Every structure is written in structure tokens, then in C-alpha cells.
């Protein structure tokens, strides 16, 4: 320990043992009694917090960007929290002082508290949380620089100490009076002291230059000045154009509008009539201009929901449960409008990028330029600029995916999670394995604003917490329902096709006869359809094509998964919860039929099949393969909306929020692919997905219909989807969850263990499981291999930990558990996992 401390003395003081979960000291914003500050050092490989002394003359707030001495360098740092007492036991005079504040108020006040909560709850070092929250490059290796102030540029400096003198001369010799601090350190010994003096005297200023990648983009702008001299008629014209456009234009635009040249503009500059300056332009993703749009007059249910939402004060939670096509989005829009007028901002989270173009267009049509999109598919520059646009504090609407929950809007008035049940709000990897809904709850609490969770098929977690809200009034929760579609349009009838009967009748095609007829008729009727294919890599299950029997684990209530191992290895069926395994049978254990089938045919195969059977049907494939390039979602959806195809063939992506009024037919090729996943959430997810995909039909004038193919028509999920019956589905499902103590009744933590070495990972998993067995109040399932045992040459095992949701159990010390892993084995702690396979 003492050796460790010695190293740390030279760097500030390392607090690695108290990172993240340490609640001591609280988050004080009053600076008067605080003399110490924890900072995050901007230095590659440093993920710990360090403590520094606050100089008397500096006022520092969390979120300020600082410059601190670190080892022999001066580096950038982010102020995290102020402390009245150093929370580590070392001589006070060993703690070094913050040198300066480089940039103030970079983050909104509660921002760091939110990040700390995420770090603590998900057992993740704070630095990892910051990596998720901040745009890439913001905390990269930013460069500290020194430049002369105008006072420093003046020739006669006061009497300086020799180092200060040297630095000043160095800077004065450089044309722009600006050098990186690193360079100055190379040139002048003990530059630190000299710099302090120059800073104190106001001869130089220090600043942090953002890393190259994300430098602001500059463009020339022309500004009109007041003094009109003696101008030629041509010059007068240009001045007039500028005046009419508000006195300022980008140079490129002005040149274009006036069909003139830069030399003409130069002449105007020389006459003192205009100035041309480099200006920063913000690279925000450009939305194509959309026609203005007025608020719709609301239905009764919508206006009741809106009235409740507008009456909310402070931190409250709303579940907006509206069937597909009931007009939830219109409620969001009208809830946001008055907030913008009050100078507040709103954050709207959506599950996937696939659905943002349409939704974004609806928001842009209503709120114009106040809407920005923020998601990980933006370029680094765009993310960086959108970030700074948010930090301006101007009222705005941010629409984004999961990570946008960390959007640094200073004046947040409302958070909305649309399709709140969607599993893409959960991050599986890398850490922190956060759920945007949980983070949104914390954020709404910290910002003291309402949170709206919207869905046609609420997650059972939300459903249960809102339906029992009377016993749990803090924070206030509201259940709002939109039970009907707009204009009382009916929900589409759902026809269930028993594929076993199709086989008996001699139809071996993947399309049933009713679906074939419906596809055939699309073109004649000039209507459009959506064909949904469930495809998930290797998560195949095995079932009998003759009797529908699904091979299940005798110890757990889940289906067995086909195990994908090396070529030539025996075919195995395995349970991913308890590791029960058996060989793959030749014949169906139930009826003896040899037609055992792996499910999971992808969109590509289905598209080929469509082309073969329906050569005239024009189709567009809409899945992660065809939407990889930027803007592809929008292009494909626009083509489809323009009637350039009859059928949209795709995966999960098309279940989410698409509002295409001309779609009348929805086909589901094999509902079974969703039903028998080896996961306790399979039923819930299947119900949600199938209900959502069915909800794409009949949203416009023409009535819709849904054709759903399955080998198990009697499955409770299929029956509930057919009747559009959320209530009875959730009641039955919750009973099963309660019996087995699964969420939302119990909580889960999944340990994912992986290594290149198959033996070592298995042994480590065993050792960890044994050590966890000490905890009497934890139920340990496994260790078991992950369903795809090997990914990118890594072998993966997992351990599932189950414990009661209400009582905080005696949880292990995760650092101790981590220490059980040899260097070659990595461990991820997934808190509240969604994907267990």
C-alpha cells in the first residue's frame, strides 16, 4: 500500500477504492466550505478519480473543465464533486492544487449525479459511464494551449521572474502568440511556475483545444457594417441583398445569390462596408424540410390524457397505454408545445433508428428547427455539435435512441420513452449494461420533471408498477389509456393459420394458402403489405413439423436450443439456464415423425422464395443488412410510401412505430420463432412483437387484415394476440413469473464470462459459482454455456443470479468476484439483464 501511495503523491491522490459507489460527502453545490475536489483526469488509461485542493481564488463547480498538475504534466480534468474533507487518509500537504478553470458550466447541474447513479447501480467504473454519455472525442486527448492576451501582446511587460520572461518571449515570437503547453514545457524548464505568474498577471490565457476529430467546422460569413461609403451600383446591389437578409449571410450563399466573385467582396471589405469572418457552423443532421403542421383537434381520450399530463408538477410518471394507431404521438407533440414556449426542452427516446425518420419528420413538421436527432449513427462531428447545441440551453426537442438519455439538456421539462417495452432500450454490452428506462426515471427525478412511458404493449415491469400505484404514491404515477384507434377505426382482424394442417394438405411452401392468395391479390387491389420474418442468428429451437412438439428442458420451463459448435462435433440440444443437455433426436419424441425442423429462416431466404413464387410482386427488404448505410431507412421507407413496391419484407425493425396508412395486409411467416426462445421473457416479447406488427395494418382508410402462420395455434400468446387482449395476457404471464420469482417479482444479475481458452473460462465460471453459493439469499443458476458458445473465438459462459426485488440482498463484493478471474478471462456484470441467452 505504501508504495502505491508514493506513486500517487506525484499525481494527485488516487481514489480508486472509492470510485463509483461511494456516497460520502454528498453532492454539494455551495462552494464556501469545500476545499477539496474530485476530478476525472483527461489522460489515456486513467479511469480513476483524483483529489485536489481548491485554490482560494477559484470558484469551481462540478462539470467545469479544469487544468491540473498530474505527474510532471499539466492536463485537462473534469470537476466531479466538491468535498468538505478529503476522503482519503493522507497528509493534506501532499494534495496538489487545481491550477485553473479552462471552461465553465460544461454540463447541467445534476448531470454528474446521474452518471454516478448509473455507475453505482450497474457496478461500472464512472469513466465507463462517461464514455457512454459523452460524445466520442470530447474527453479524448484534448490539448492544453497557452496564448497571449491583448495585454500580453503589448510590448512592455512588468518585471517578471526569469521563467515567466522566457515563456512570454517564446509566445511573442510566434505570429499568433499561441503554443501548446506541451511545447512550452519542452522549451522552458519548470514552465509550470512561469505559466502561473503569467496567468495571474493576465498576460496569457490557457485553454483546452478539443481533439482534432471533433473540431468545430468553420465557414466564411459576411456581415454588413453600418458605414456606407462611396459605392458602385454593383456594390450597392450586394449591400442591399445583405440588408434584406438580415445583414448576415454565409459567403458561399452571398456569392451565389449575387453571382459575384470574392474579389468584389474584398473591395467591399476594403471600403469598410462588410467584414468576412470565419464562423462556426454546427453540423447537425439535416432533416429534409417538411411542410408546417398544425396541432390536430384531439379525440376525447387524447384530450383527457393531455389534460392530465399538462397538470403534472415535478417528478411524476405516466404510463400512456394506447393501442396501435391511437394517436400517442399526437399527445406527445401537444404536451411538448407549451414547454418550448416556457423555455424548456424535451427529450424523446425511441427504440431504433429505423423508426426515427418518420417520427422525426412529424416532430420537425410541428416544431421546425427546434428538433434535433441524436444517436450513435451520427458522425462524431455531428454528435459533438448536437451536444454543444444542447448545452446552449435554448428550448429544443431531442429525439434519440438509448444513449440520448444522457443528452445534456440544461432545462429539461419532459422525458418521453416511446415504445417503452422495447428491449433495445437496454444495453447488453459494453458496460454499463444500462436500461434507458431506469436511467430516465433517475433523470426525471433529478431534474424534477415528468416522465411519460408510452406503449401499446407495456412491459410487465411498467404495467405492474402502474397498476399497483395506489399503494406506492411516491412519486405520483398515472395510468392513462387510449383504448381506441383514431376515428374509431377497428383493430385489424387476426387470422391464425395452422401450418400443421398446411403440411397435411400437402403444402410444403413456407407460405400458407391464405397468405399466398392475399399476396397475389395485393397488386390487383393496388394495396400494400408487410411481411414479418423473425430472424435471430442462431437462436433456433427445434420442433416437429408433423405435431408441433417443441423440445423442452425437463428442469426448466424453456425450450432447448440447438447448439452450434464446431463442424463434425455432435449435434446437441441444451438448456441455457441449468445446462441440461441431450443429443439431437432422429425422430420426434412425441409422434415419431422424422420431420424435426430448426426454425429461423432469414429474410434473404424468404425473399428468394417470394421471387420464385410471385415473380411479379415488387418487394423491398427492410432489415439490418439492407439498412446499413446512412439514410437507407429513410430511402427505403420513402420508396415504399411512394408505391414503388408492393411488399415490405423485414425483421423486428418494421414492427416499431411505422405509420404507413396504405398498408392493409400484414403477414407473419412463422410466429413460432418468437414463442420458443430459450428465455423466460420469450412470451412477453412475442406478444409485444406480434401485437406491434399486427398494428401496422389498417391504419388508413382501408381496413386491414393480419395473417399469422404458426405450428402452435393454441399457444396462449397467439390467442391473446388474436383477441388484442393485453389484459388477460399480462395477468397469466405475471402469475407464472411470480411462481418462479422472475422479474418483475424477483431481480436478476447475469454474469457473462468469456475467454479465448475454453477450459479456463469453464473453470473460472465454476469457481465464481461456487464462491457465490455462500450467499444464502441468492439463487444461483448455472454456470452454463451461452447459446452461441463461441463468438469471435471467445468461449462464453454465464451465471444467473436471482434474488427478491424488494429486499436488498446480501450482494457479493464484485471486486472480490472479479479477482477470481485470471487475466485471460473477462467478466461482465449485467444488471437486470434482458437477453439471457
Please report how close the Cβ of residue 329 comes to ligand ADP at its closest, in angstroms. Answer: 3
What residue spans of 311-375 are helical by DSSP H? 328-341, 356-367
Each residue 759-788 as x (binds ligand ADP by CB under 6 A) or -, in order, gives: ------------------------------
Q: Which three cell numbers stand for residue 467?
A: 397498476
Specify the residue, 456 or 669, whose C-beta has the smaller distance to ligand ADP: 456
Instruction: Tell me which of Zn ion, ligand ADP, none is bound by residue 591, counting a contact when its beta carbon lies within the kind-specific cut-off of 5 to 8 angstroms.
Output: Zn ion
**How far apart are the two ends of the chain, measured CA to CA in Å?**
41
Q: Which residues carry a binding-site annotation for Zn(2+)? A: 544, 547, 553, 556, 575, 578, 588, 591
**Closer residue to Zn ion (CB): 574 or 724:** 574
CA distances from 600 to 559, 560, 565, 676 (A): 14, 14, 17, 11
Q: Is 329 in the site for ligand ADP (CB under 6 A)?
A: yes
**Only segment of 328-336, 341-349, 563-571, 763-771 that touches ligand ADP (CB under 6 A):** 328-336
In the list ligand ADP, Zn ion, none, the entry touching 329 (Cβ below 5 to 8 angstroms by class) is: ligand ADP
Closer to Zn ion by CB, 541 or 549: give it: 549
Residues present in the chain in total:
837
Q: Interface with ligand ADP includes 110 (CB under 6 A)?
A: no
Q: What is the C-alpha separation between 730 and 717, in angstroms, rounded? A: 10
- Computed from CA positions of residues 720, 723, 724, 730, in that sequence, does the dihedral angle turn out positive or negative? negative
> 244 in helix, strand or coil?
helix
Question: Which of 195, 251, 287, 302: binder of ligand ADP (CB under 6 A)?
Answer: 302
C-alpha cell at 159: 518585471
Out of Zn ion, ligand ADP, none, which partner does residue 327 contact, by CB within 5 to 8 A per kind?
Answer: ligand ADP
- Which of 325, 395, 458, 667 lies at the binding interface for ligand ADP (CB under 6 A)? 325
Distance CA 558, CA 578 (A): 10
CB of 699 to ligand ADP, least distance (A): 6
Task: Please give the size of the binding site for Zn ion, defined by CB under 5 A.
Answer: 15
Three-class DSSP labels, 444-474? HHHHCCCEEEEECCCCHHHHHHHHCHHHCCC
The binding track of 453-492 with respect to ligand ADP, each residue x by CB under 6 A or -, is: ---------------------------------x------
> Which does residue 322 touch among ligand ADP, Zn ion, none (CB within 5 to 8 A, set by kind)?
ligand ADP
Determine, following the binding rule CB under 6 A, whether residue 299 of this chain makes contact with ligand ADP.
Answer: yes
Q: Is 477 helix (H, G, I), strand (E, B) or coil?
A: strand
Q: Is residue 698 involved in binding ligand ADP (CB under 6 A)?
A: no
Which partner, ligand ADP, Zn ion, none, binds residue 438 by CB below 5 to 8 Å per kind?
A: none
Q: How far is the CB of 482 from ligand ADP (least distance, A)?
A: 7
652 binds, among ligand ADP, Zn ion, none (CB under 5 to 8 A by kind): none
Residue 559 DSSP label: B
Residue 784, CA distances (Å) to 116, 419, 771, 789 in order: 32, 32, 16, 10
Please name the residue ranges forming H helices in 581-715: 603-613, 632-641, 672-675, 682-694
Q: With CB under 6 A, what is the number of residues at the site for ligand ADP?
A: 14
Distance CA 646, CA 530 (A): 9
Nearer to Zn ion, 231 or 556 (CB): 556
Question: Do 669 and 606 meet the contact criterion of CB atoms below 8 Å apart?
Answer: yes
CB burial of residue 126 (10 Å; 0-12, 13-18, 19+):
buried
Provide DSSP, 667-694: EES-THHHHT-SSTTHHHHHHHHHHHHH
Whether the bond between 475 and the residue before it is cis, its omega within 30 degrees of 0, is yes
740 is a contact residue toward Zn ion (CB under 5 A): no
Window of 252-260, 323-331, 554-562, 752-760 that interacts with ligand ADP by CB under 6 A = 323-331
Residues 583-602 that bind Zn ion (CB under 5 A): 588, 590-591, 593
Residues contacting residue 313 through CB under 8 Å, at least 6 positions apart: none
Q: Is 77 strand, coil or helix?
A: strand
Nearest-angstrom CA–CA distance, 54 and 310: 44
List the single partner that 549 binds among Zn ion, ligand ADP, none, CB under 5 to 8 Å by kind: Zn ion
Sign of CA dihedral 327, 329, 332, 338: negative
Helix (H, G, I), strand (E, B) or coil at 99: coil
Spatial separation of the C-alpha atoms in residues 657 and 671, rounded to whole Å: 19
163 conformational bin, left if phi > 0, alpha if psi -120 to 50, beta if neither: alpha
> How near is the Cβ of 487 to ligand ADP at its closest, in Å?
7
Among 394, 659, 719, 757, contact with ligand ADP (rule: CB under 6 A): 659
Look at the block and give the residue holding cell 479552462: 102
Interface with ligand ADP (CB under 6 A), residue from 322, 408, 600, 833 = 322
**Toward Zn ion, which CB reaches closer, 92 or 591?**
591
- 345: contact with ligand ADP by CB under 6 A: no
Interface region with ligand ADP, contact rule CB under 6 A, candidates 76-84, 322-330, 560-568, 816-824:
322-330
Residue positions in the annotated binding site?
Answer: 544, 547, 553, 556, 575, 578, 588, 591
**Judged by CB under 6 A, does residue 352 bind ligand ADP?**
no
Distance, in Å, from the CA atom of 118 to the CA atom of 315, rounded to the nearest integer, reads 19
Asked if residue 298 binds ligand ADP (CB under 6 A), the reply is yes
Query: Of residues 96, 328, 437, 576, which one binds ligand ADP by CB under 6 A?
Result: 328
SS3 helix, strand, coil % of the chain, rounded to 5? Answer: 35, 25, 40
- Our CB check for Zn ion shows the closer of 127 and 544 to be 544
Q: How far is the CB of 264 from ligand ADP (least distance, A)?
A: 49
The residue with cell 395510468 is: 479
User: Interface with Zn ion includes 549 (CB under 5 A)?
Assistant: yes
Exactly one of 578, 767, 778, 788 binds Zn ion (CB under 5 A); that residue is: 578
293-301, 569-577, 595-603, 615-623 -> range binding ligand ADP (CB under 6 A): 293-301
Question: Can residue 330 be called a binding residue for ligand ADP (CB under 6 A)?
Answer: yes
Looking at the Cβ atoms of 386 and 655, the one nearer to ligand ADP is 655
Q: Is 290 in the site for ligand ADP (CB under 6 A)?
A: no
Cα gap 585→594, rounded to integer Å: 9
**Binding site residues, ligand ADP, CB under 6 A:** 296, 298-299, 302, 322, 324-330, 486, 659
Query: Could you list the residues that contact Zn ion (CB under 5 A)?
Result: 544, 546-547, 549, 553, 555-556, 575, 577-578, 580, 588, 590-591, 593
Amino acid at each position: 500500500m505504501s508504495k502505491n501511495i508514493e506513486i500517487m503523491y506525484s499525481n494527485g491522490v488516487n481514489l480508486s477504492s472509492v470510485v463509483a459507489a461511494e456516497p460520502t460527502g454528498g453532492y454539494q453545490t455551495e462552494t464556501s466550505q469545500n476545499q477539496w475536489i474530485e476530478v476525472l483526469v483527461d489522460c489515456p488509461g486513467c479511469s480513476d478519480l483524483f483529489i485536489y485542493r481548491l485554490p482560494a481564488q477559484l470558484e469551481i463547480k462540478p462539470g467545469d473543465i479544469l487544468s491540473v498538475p498530474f505527474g510532471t504534466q499539466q492536463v485537462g480534468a473534469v470537476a466531479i464533486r466538491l468535498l468538505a474533507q478529503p476522503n482519503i487518509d493522507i497528509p493534506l500537504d501532499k494534495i496538489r492544487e487545481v491550477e485553473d478553470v479552462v471552461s465553465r458550466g460544461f454540463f447541467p447541474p445534476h448531470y454528474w449525479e446521474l452518471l454516478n447513479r448509473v455507475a453505482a447501480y450497474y457496478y461500472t467504473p464512472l469513466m465507463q459511464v462517461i464514455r457512454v454519455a459523452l460524445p466520442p472525442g470530447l474527453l479524448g486527448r484534448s490539448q492544453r494551449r497557452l496564448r497571449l492576451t491583448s495585454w500580453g501582446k503589448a510590448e512592455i511587460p512588468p518585471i517578471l521572474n526569469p521563467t515567466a520572461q522566457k515563456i512570454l518571449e517564446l509566445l511573442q515570437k510566434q505570429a499568433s502568440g499561441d503554443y501548446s503547453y506541451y511545447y512550452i514545457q519542452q522549451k522552458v524548464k519548470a514552465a509550470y511556475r512561469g505559466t502561473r505568474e503569467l496567468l495571474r498577471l493576465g498576460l496569457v490565457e490557457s485553454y483546452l483545444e478539443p481533439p482534432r476529430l471533433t473540431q468545430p467546422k468553420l465557414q466564411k460569413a459576411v456581415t454588413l457594417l453600418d458605414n456606407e461609403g462611396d459605392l458602385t451600383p454593383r456594390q450597392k446591389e450586394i449591400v442591399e441583398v445583405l440588408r434584406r437578409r438580415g445583414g448576415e449571410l454565409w459567403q458561399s450563399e452571398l456569392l451565389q445569390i449575387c453571382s459575384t466573385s470574392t474579389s468584389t467582396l474584398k473591395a467591399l471589405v476594403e471600403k469598410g462596408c462588410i467584414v468576412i469572418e470565419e464562423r462556426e457552423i454546427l453540423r447537425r443532421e439535416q432533416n429534409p424540410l417538411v411542410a408546417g403542421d398544425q396541432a390536430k383537434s384531439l379525440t376525447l381520450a387524447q384530450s383527457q390524457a393531455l389534460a392530465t399530463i399538462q397538470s403534472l408538477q415535478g417528478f411524476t410518471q405516466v404510463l400512456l397505454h394506447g393501442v396501435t394507431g391511437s394517436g400517442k404521438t399526437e399527445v406527445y407533440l401537444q404536451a411538448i408545445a407549451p414547454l418550448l414556449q416556457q423555455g424548456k426542452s424535451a427529450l424523446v427516446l425511441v427504440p431504433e433508428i429505423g423508426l426515427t425518420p418518420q417520427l422525426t419528420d412529424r416532430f420537425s413538421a410541428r416544431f421546425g428547427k427546434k428538433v434535433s436527432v441524436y444517436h450513435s449513427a451520427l458522425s462524431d462531428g455531428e454528435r459533438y455539435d448536437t451536444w454543444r447545441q444542447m448545452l446552449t440551453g435554448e428550448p429544443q426537442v431531442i429525439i434519440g435512441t438509448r444513449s440520448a438519455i444522457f443528452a445534456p439538456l440544461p432545462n429539461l421539462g419532459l422525458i418521453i420513452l416511446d415504445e417503452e417495452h422495447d428491449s433495445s432500450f437496454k444495453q447488453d454490452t459494453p458496460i454499463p449494461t444500462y436500461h434507458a428506462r431506469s436511467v430516465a426515471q433517475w433523470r426525471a427525478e433529478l431534474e424534477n420533471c415528468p416522465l411519460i412511458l408510452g406503449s401499446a404493449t407495456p412491459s410487465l415491469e411498467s404495467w405492474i408498477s402502474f397498476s399497483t400505484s395506489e399503494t406506492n404514491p411516491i412519486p405520483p404515477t398515472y395510468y392513462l389509456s387510449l383504448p381506441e384507434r383514431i376515428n374509431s377505426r377497428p383493430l385489424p382482424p387476426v387470422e391464425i393459420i395452422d401450418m400443421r394442417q398446411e403440411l397435411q394438405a400437402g403444402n410444403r411452401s413456407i407460405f400458407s394458402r391464405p397468405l399466398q392468395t392475399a399476396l397475389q391479390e395485393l397488386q390487383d387491389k393496388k394495396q400494400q403489405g408487410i411481411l414479418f420474418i423473425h430472424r435471430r442468428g442462431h437462436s433456433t429451437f427445434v420442433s416437429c413439423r408433423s405435431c408441433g412438439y417443441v423440445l423442452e428442458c425437463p428442469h426448466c420451463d424453456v425450450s432447448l436450443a440447438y447448439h452450434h459448435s464446431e463442424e463434425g462435433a455432435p449435434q446437441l440440444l441444451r438448456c441455457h439456464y441449468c445446462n441440461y443437455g441431450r443429443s439431437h433426436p432422429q425422430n420426434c419424441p412425441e409422434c415419431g415423425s422424422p420431420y424435426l425442423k430448426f426454425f429461423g429462416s432469414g429474410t434473404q431466404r424468404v425473399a428468394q422464395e417470394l421471387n420464385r413464387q410471385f415473380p411479379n410482386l415488387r418487394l423491398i427488404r427492410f432489415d439490418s443488412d439492407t439498412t446499413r448505410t446512412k439514410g437507407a431507412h429513410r430511402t427505403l421507407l420513402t420508396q415504399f410510401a411512394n408505391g414503388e413496391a408492393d411488399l415490405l419484407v423485414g425483421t423486428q425493425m418494421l414492427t416499431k412505430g411505422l405509420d404507413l396508412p396504405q398498408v392493409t395486409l400484414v403477414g407473419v411467416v412463422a410466429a413460432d420463432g418468437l414463442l420458443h426462445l430459450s428465455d423466460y421473457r420469450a412470451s412477453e416479447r412475442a406478444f409485444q412483437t406480434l401485437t406491434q406488427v399486427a398494428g401496422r395494418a389498417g391504419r388508413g382508410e382501408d381496413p386491414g387484415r393480419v395473417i399469422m402462420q404458426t405450428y402452435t395455434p393454441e399457444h396462449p400468446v397467439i390467442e391473446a394476440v388474436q383477441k388484442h387482449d393485453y389484459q388477460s395476457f399480462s395477468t397469466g404471464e405475471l402469475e407464472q413469473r411470480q411462481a418462479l420469482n422472475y422479474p418483475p417479482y424477483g431481480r436478476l444479475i447475469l454474469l457473462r464470462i468469456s475467454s479465448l481458452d475454453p477450459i479456463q473460462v469453464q473453470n473460472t465460471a465454476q469457481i465464481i459459482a461456487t464462491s457465490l453459493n455462500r450467499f444464502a439469499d441468492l439463487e444461483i443458476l448455472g454456470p452454463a454455456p451461452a447459446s452461441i458458445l463461441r463468438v469471435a473465438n471467445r468461449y462464453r459462459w454465464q451465471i444467473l443470479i436471482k434474488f427478491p426485488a424488494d429486499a436488498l440482498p446480501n450482494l457479493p463484493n464484485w471486486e472480490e468476484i472479479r479477482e477470481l478471474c485470471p487475466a485471460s478471462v473477462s467478466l461482465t456484470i449485467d444488471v437486470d439483464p434482458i437477453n439471457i441467452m
